[in-house]
Amino acid sequence: MPLYKSLVLNSQTIVKIWKITESKDFFSDKLVLKPESLERVNGMKSELHQRGFLSVRMLLAEFGYVDEDLVYDTFGKPHLKDGKYISITHSYTFSAVVVSSRAVGVDIEKQREKIIKIAPKFIGYETTYLSENDPVLIHKLTWIWCIKESLYKLYATSGMVFKKHFLVLPFGTESNNTSAWIIHDNHRSKYKAVFMEFEGFGCAVVGPNF
């Protein structure tokens, strides 16, 4: 299908989301990939991962970019050659790209009950406002994970621990945003987090100002 959703967070930050229903051949027929990207996608054992990778390149085209405009640093963080900031994510049948004039991060995750079991590995301070009896606990935990994963992508520094270095302030389901902090080496940096859900998936975008 074509572009699933496009969100303008501010005049300098745009998020585009793709719902992946197409075959690998559909994408391959429409895209021109640089040799290293072609080698990478052909080396993926899962067609789902291949389609996710290729759908991200379709989103790049929605922004007016081609695969050649995208490069990765040694940390694996993507960069655009024109100097704008970019973050990328794909999960199962959705992918997303955010482009901004400021550092940003984006993440999509499928809402699954198993997140309750693994929550102690990535939540710390957040236990002060979460309740195991909350009927929307899975939704909240998924958003927290997405926010922290987005912060991790934005900060791109080795040794970061979700539970220790990332902090998400309380939020309600009636809202779609909150604040989050990165605390590392005695430095504290505050970010805005915008979150949403669609078709059983949670998504979050973080940046310095939305």
CB 90 within 8 A of CB 56: yes
| Domain residue extents for the chain | 3-101, 107-207
210 has pLDDT over 80: no
pLDDT, position 37: 96
11 has pLDDT over 80: yes
What topology is assigned to 107-207 in CATH?
Ribosomal Protein L22; Chain A (3.90.470)
Short-list 163, 201, 193, 183, CA closest to 87? 193
pLDDT, position 15: 98
CB 106 within 8 A of CB 142: no
Residue pLDDT, tens place only, 142-181: 999 999 999 999 999 999 999 999 999 999 888 899 999 9
CATH 1.10.1740.10 fits 3-101, yes or no: no
The residues, ordered by sequence, that sit 6+ positions from 192 with a Cβ below 8 Å of its Cβ are 177, 179, 180, 206, 207, 208, 209, 210
Residue pLDDT, tens place only, 98-133: 999 999 999 999 999 999 999 999 999 999 999 999
For residues 135, 162, 97, 84, the Cα torsion angle rounded to the nearest 10 degrees is 140
Per CATH, 3-101 and 107-207 having the same topology is answered yes
